[in-house]
Each structure stands twice: as structure tokens, then as C-alpha cells.
Amino acid sequence: MTQVDLSSQAAQSSNVRLGFIGAGNMARSLIGGLLKQGFDAQHIIASDPSAQCLQMVRDLGAQTAENNAALVASVDVVVLAVKPQVMADVLQPLAPLISQHQVLLVSIAAGINCASLAAWSSLSASIVRCMPNTPALLQCGATGLYANARVSSQQRDLAQSILEAVGLAIWVDSEDQLDAVTALSGSGPAYFFLLMELMQANGEQLGLSAPMARALTLQTALGAAKMALDAEVDTATLRAQVTSPNGTTEAAIKSFQSNDFSKLVEQALNAAHQRSIDLAKELG
């Protein structure tokens, strides 16, 4: 995957201006990542009803707008970083401006599909829908992206660059694949948190202190992830390599398998996948 350098001469000379409607944690994470990449802080503007959120944006060095209309009128890209439940109320008053200025809409709101975004804004709108996850707050995110047919190749590159400012960004081939992304990486951090929570609790039951069990659990999770990222083999091979015959790891793995751990994971991801589909129907 080729990463577009937003700090390049081409991006700077085009004077690309980014607007964020919503200045919460995820928006500020994206702004911070873009600034670290060297994007001009004067070209980033955010709006939000919270004075505190706007002050935090200014503390980062970026600009703020008095209202959403002023923001849309002054940018090339609008990142929609509001709660899904209020998306229609936010977009509908802006529809004439969105149509007039032909801005690229980049939505990071879960459950709102491109058809709904277009219906609330402009049927001719260029829309990229994204599903980031919470590690984006640490620039370690994983994001799936989908573009509607009106998005140009240049706009795709720009949208990818925005999300790559906070981690990995991967394009999916169809919009319904974003439901799978939601089930896998969007909700995925919570799955690992649950496993770590249970490992720590059982470490304590086996006699370790709480701080010791926590430290060992978290470092083990970090080390396993780094090994998987750096390895030239798949995770199944890695697991086999650390599972000695008749050893402690094999005993644990056999316990997982005898209790149908793989089926449990399948059911969990299917449940998240279906809920993502249902949310799109409820919110659209």
C-alpha cells in the first residue's frame, strides 16, 4: 500500500483544506496525526458545539469555525465526526452548501451508509465512508474505507492519507464489507481487552499480585502482536512454533479447542456483523 505524503509539495501547493464537523476524541486524534505528518495547521479547521473541544483543537494548533456552514464553505474535505444519531440533523441544513462547493465527505460514523449520507447532503456528493477503531487515538488504528462512485482517484488518495495519519487504512471492494470490518477490527479491541481482563484475573487466582498479573498480561499481548506483525509466516504457524508437544502451552491450547473456542469466536464476530447491518437500517 502506497501512503500519500500530505506534507509533500503537491499537497501543499494545492492548498487542500480539511474541515472536521465534530471535534471529539477521534477527530482530535486525526488532527494530531495529520499535524505530526507535517500538514499545515492553518489548513485544518474544526467545528463543535463544545467550547472545551474547540479549545483542545486550538491547543493542537489547528483552527476552529463559528459554525458548520462557515466550515463547509471554506474547505475541500469535510470529515464527519459526529454521533450517528445526529448525522441527519447535522447534514440536512448543510445540503445546499455541500452541493455548491462539491466538498469530499469523509464519514467516520458507524452504521450510516453512503445512500443515507447522500440523501441527507447531496445526491451528487463524493463520499468516503470509514470504519476506524479506538487505537487510532494512539496512532495505532486499523480502518476500512469505501468510496462511492463519485470519488475521484485524487480524493481516494487524500481520504486514505487522512486515515493513515492514525494507523493502517485499507480499502474494501463493496460497502457491505464495512460490516465485516466493524465486526473484526472496529469492535476487535474489546475482544482483546476481554481476553486480557480474564488472563489477568486468572493470573491473580494462581497467586500473582494484581500489578504483576496486569504487567505480564499486557506485555505478553504487546509482544505477541509485534511478533505477528514482524513474522513472515501466519499466526497459525506462530502458534505451532511456540506450542511444544506435551508442554504447558499445548495443555492450554487443547483446553481452548475442546471447549470449541473457534466456534465461540465465530459466533461473536457474526453477532457483531449482524448488529452492524441492523444499525445501518435503524439509523439510515
Res. 8: pLDDT tops 60: no
Same domain, 161 and 39: yes
Report percent pLDDT > 90 for the chain: 90
pLDDT digits (tens, 9 = 90+) for 88-115: 999 999 999 999 999 999 999 988 999 9
Q: How far is the C-alpha of 95 from the C-alpha of 149, rounded, in Å? A: 19
- Average pLDDT value over all residues in the chain: 93
3-state secondary structure of 145: strand
What is the mean pLDDT of the segment spanning 268-283?
A: 93
Q: Which of 152, 182, 212 delimits the end of a domain?
A: 182
Q: How far is the C-alpha of 259 from the C-alpha of 244, rounded, in Å? A: 20
DSSP state of 3: P
pLDDT digits (tens, 9 = 90+) for 179-213: 999 999 999 999 999 999 999 999 999 999 999 99
Same domain, 202 and 175: no
Q: Which of 124, 147, 182 delimits the end of a domain?
A: 182
pTM comes to 0.88
State the residue range of the domain holding 146: 9-182
Element (H, E) at 170: strand 167-171
The per-residue pLDDT for 243 is 97
Report percent pLDDT > 70 for the chain: 95
Q: How far is the C-alpha of 238 from the C-alpha of 231, rounded, in Å? A: 8
Specify the CATH number for the domain of residue 221. 1.10.3730.10
3-state secondary structure of 132: coil
Burial 8-46 (b: 16+ CB within 10 A, else e): eeebeeeebbbbbbbbbebbbbbbbbbbebebbbebbbb
Main-chain phi, psi angles of 102, to 5 degrees:
55, 45
Specify the CATH number for the domain of residue 60. 3.40.50.720
What is the mean pLDDT of the segment spanning 26-50?
A: 94
Res. 2: pLDDT tops 90: no
Q: How far is the C-alpha of 141 from the C-alpha of 145, rounded, in Å? A: 13
Q: Which of 121, 151, 182 delimits the end of a domain?
A: 182
Confidence class for position 11, pLDDT limits 50, 70, 90: very low
Is 1 part of a structural domain of the chain? no
State the CB neighbour count (10 A cutoff) for residue 184.
17
What is the mean pLDDT of the segment spanning 143-150?
A: 97
The per-residue pLDDT for 13 is 34
